Amino acid sequence: MEGFLGGAYIWIKAFHIIAVIAWMAGMLYLPRLFAYHVDAEIGSVQSETFKVMERRLLRGIINPAMILVFVLGGLLFFDRGMGIWSEGWWYVKLVAVIVMVGLHGELSRWRRAFAEDRNTRSARFYKFVNEVPAVLMVVIVIMVVVKPF
């Protein structure tokens, strides 16, 4: 049975995957920038450069990519129909995506703290946070591709 997207389904899916890759790239890079930014002296050229890089990454790549992920993913979801709610893998994926969105919000908040020179976290903290999107990505991909339950 073909959904309402018809032949466009495969194109929507491809662009959804591209948007996910862009979102993930940004989510993996931003905490690493924070880890380096911690060591820059407040007001220094290096600190101000990190601020620009962090703002551009968030506003120019991460935010637009996330919006595309949800728009295109929403189309794919509605094309699939209500049957998806009976599949266990869907709930695990949904929780992982919700956690990813929460992390996105925290990264935005931490970027503002750096922009206002009021960061209180260590480089070690940001290096740990840097691993969270990777773990979530593994869970999401396994749920979508393998559908273990």
Q: Per-domain residue ranges for the chain? A: 6-145
- From start to end of the chain, where are the E strands? none
**pLDDT grade for 122, boundaries at 50, 70 and 90:** very high
- The pTM (predicted TM-score) of the whole model is 0.92
CA distances for 51 relative to 3, 62, 102, 111, angstroms: 45, 15, 22, 8
- The pLDDT value recorded for residue 3 is 87
d(CA 148, CA 39): 43
35 pLDDT more than 60: yes
Q: Which of 75-84, 97-106, 117-126, 140-149 has the lowest mean pLDDT?
A: 75-84
HSE, CB side, 13 Å, CA atoms: give it for residue 120. 1
1 pLDDT more than 70: no
- The pLDDT value recorded for residue 112 is 98
